[in-house]
Amino acid sequence: MALKEQLDKFNKQQVKCQSTLSSIASSRERTSSSRQNVPLPAAITQKKPDAAPVKFSSDTERLQNINNIRKAPVGAQIKRVIDLLYERRLALTPEQINEWCHVDMHANKAVFDSLRKNPKAHYDGRRFSYKATHDVNDKNQLLSLVRKYLDGIAVVDLKDAYPNVMEDLKALSASGDIYLLSNSQEDIAYPNDFKCEIKVDDEFKALFRDINIPNDMLDVEKELLKIGLKPATNTAERRAAAQTHGISNKPKDKKKKKQEISKRTKLTNAHLPELFQNLNGSSSRN
């Protein structure tokens, strides 16, 4: 009697599995061609004598995933294909694309046409390949590309050129071939085509910047005349021309520092001691 009960349960499971498989096959017939109907009955016939529930469930999940992928909207399928092309960096036929990411472009014409016109994909009649913003493949080509953009090029536009772009950019920046600056939102690469002309130590750079320039350019000219050099600037002439135009071009005078009271300063208003509360040393002295 126990054996009979087990046999009845097994028969019920068999009926359920056959119903689900038949529904999947029917949905396939709508979207795919008649070729793929052929292996389905073979699979069913093969798996009947095995009678293993684990295999049924795993196969079902795989088929459901494939079904979900093929039922997704066109944009999602296109993105899936482009991501595959980006990762592989190879020219793939539609069959290979179907094999890797289960997007069947022959069955879905909308996906095929959109992908052919997509700016990120290149179709040569037989194969699809990824098309980067800039056609750059290695470090030297990257450097020559950056040098074409004198006013800088955004790093975002370079990231999809090839996988190791960022590492190459950092290497070029470290070697001084490019400047890599950030404006708190993105990085920008600028060319430095003036390299190895001059090399100055940091101490000399600091010394150069520490030297103060007099506020009036006339003083610089006088100093140059003392040395024996001829000044290139003619400030007096410039100011005369500016006055004819009516522009005031005089340099601003620096604010003079307030002279603090020292102990040598003679203090008046001695009968008002609250005026000198701020003084520490002089008050103690007095």
197 binds other proteins (CB under 8 A): yes
Characterise 122 by phi-psi region: left (phi > 0), alpha (psi -120 to 50), beta (else).
beta
Q: Which of 9, 117, 255, 264 binds other proteins (CB under 8 A)?
A: 264
CA angle, residues 252, 257, 258, in degrees to nearest 5: 135
Which one of 40-48, 56-64, 106-114, 255-263 is the stretch in contact with other proteins (CB under 8 A)? 255-263
Q: Which of 152, 159, 267, 276 binds other proteins (CB under 8 A)?
A: 152
180 binds other proteins (CB under 8 A): yes
Each residue 14-53 as x (binds other proteins by CB under 8 A) or -, in order, gives ----------------------------------------
Q: What is the largest CA-CA distance in the chain?
A: 125
Q: Which of 37, 64, 234, 286 binds other proteins (CB under 8 A)?
A: 234
156 binds other proteins (CB under 8 A): no
- Taken in order 161, 166, 167, 173, the sign of the CA dihedral is positive
- Which element (helix H / strand E) includes 179? strand 178-182
**C-alpha 276 chain-centroid distance:** 62
Q: Which of 25, 224, 267, 276 binds other proteins (CB under 8 A)?
A: 224
Tell me the C-alpha distance between 167 and 18, whole Å: 55
1 binds other proteins (CB under 8 A): no
Q: Copy the structure tokens of residue 86.
A: 């980006």
Tell me the C-alpha distance between 94 and 107, whole Å: 11
* CA neighbor of 240 nearest in space, from 252, 228, 250: 250
253 binds other proteins (CB under 8 A): no
Could you list the residues that contact other proteins (CB under 8 A)? 150-152, 154, 173, 179-184, 186-188, 190, 192, 194, 197-205, 207-209, 211, 213, 217, 220-221, 223-224, 227, 229-234, 238, 241-242, 245, 247-249, 260, 262-264, 280-281, 284-285
